A = this chain, B = another copy of it.
Amino acid sequence: MPSSRPYDVGLDKNEANFVALSPLSFIERSAAVYPERTAIIYGARRQTWRETYARCRRLASALAQRGIGPGDTVAVMLPNVPAMFEAHFGVPMTGAVLNTLNTRLDAEAIAFMLEHGEAKVLLTDREFAAVVEKALAMVGGAGGVGDTRRPFVIEVEDDDAPAGKHLGDVSYEAFLAQGDPAFAWQLPSDEWNAIALNYTSGTTGNPKGVVTHHRGAYLNAVANVVTWEMPRHAVYLWTLPMFHCNGWCFPWTLALQAAASVCLRKLDTAVVFDQIREHHVTHLCAAPIVYGMLINAPEAQRAGITHPINGLIAGSAPPAAIIEGCERIGIA
């Protein structure tokens, strides 16, 4: 008779064959299993999972070349453009933490977050140039440009961005070009390592940082699929900002299901319905107020949309009028 039971194996969680739970594993798998499926749609632009994974690895590689690694913060001040999606993979692939900034905040709040989170790199967009320029000047007190506490600024160029000053030390595409598309990134050494840092809007004092770990992001991303019964290759419209709790973990959920991300610079109901019609969007998420906008949009904007759309809602409890209105316009 054995002296210890066969399942007293003294499992070492740090042993070599322990694999951390991380949503980064999803993009590697989708790029391998569904390389030619569409990952990103943005205006006339189309990107497969193979291309998107390569671009994320380029981003990680270029960041690593600048010394970014575990424990560092990379902040992003971006609308729901492809680079915002890519940052959710490329940044944590280096071990660094992604800090998505709420693009509606003022320079003081942004400066506070950049300082408090100690962002070493900032990805930004011309649309927010005025706020970002002012915030950067505040970082490190009167430091401004030249202050070592000022993050390295990467400007994501976009022909659809409104006019604005060019702020970047480098453009996003030039930065990616420095990176290796076959970069050998690593899963985190510990699944409890931070993947993302998000700040509250500071309505009752200074913003407070909320940290998500790789394990939590993995489990939440999977739970989105299970709870919503979201099928593989869904077509998802980015009506929910990715800076809101990382878009409820949907960048990672979409990678898990090899779904298509229809990116959206701004919420304009005519554009939203155009995108739904053109790409046969099956899923979207939004706060109640956005559903209110869609319900109250001119009916002509919805012409020709006959397929059912799955809408996830969150925020304060949605009023009955919103729920009824959504059903009326085909979002259940």
Interface residues of A (CB under 8 A from B): 1-2, 5-9, 11, 13, 21, 71, 73, 97, 115-118, 149, 192, 194, 197, 209, 211, 213, 219, 222, 225-226, 229, 231-232, 256-257
Contacts and interface: CB of A to CB of B under 8 A. Distances in A.
Given A1-B149, A6-B211, A222-B226, 19 more contacts: A2-B116, A2-B118, A5-B71, A5-B73, A5-B97, A6-B116, A6-B117, A6-B209, A9-B211, A11-B213, A13-B192, A21-B219, A222-B222, A225-B225, A225-B226, A226-B226, A226-B256, A229-B229, A229-B231
A194 B7 contact: yes
Given A226-B222, A256-B226, A209 B116 contact: no
Which 9 pairs across A and B sit closest by C-beta, in order of nearness? A7-B194, A6-B209, A7-B211, A11-B192, A225-B226, A7-B197, A229-B231, A7-B97, A222-B222
Contact of A229 (B9, B116, B232): B232
A92 B118 CA distance: 46
Contacts of A21: 219
17 contacts: A1-B118, A1-B149, A5-B71, A5-B73, A5-B97, A5-B117, A6-B117, A6-B209, A7-B194, A7-B211, A8-B71, A9-B211, A21-B219, A222-B222, A225-B226, A229-B231, A229-B232
Contacts of A231: 229
Interface SS of A by simple majority: loop
A11 to B, nearest CB: 5
A37 to B, nearest CB: 15
Contacts of A209: 6-7
Number of copies of this protein chain within its complex: 2
A71 B5 CA distance: 8
A249 to B, nearest CB: 14
Contacts of A226: 222, 225-226, 256-257
Contacts of A1: 115, 118, 149
Nearest to A193: B7
Looking at A6, A115, A117, the one whose CB has the most chain B CB atoms below 10 A away is A6
A189 to B, nearest CB: 14
A70 B95 CA distance: 37
A226 B252 CA distance: 14
A123 B16 CA distance: 38
B13 A197 contact: no
A71 to B, nearest CB: 7
Contacts of A194: 7
A231 B226 CA distance: 8
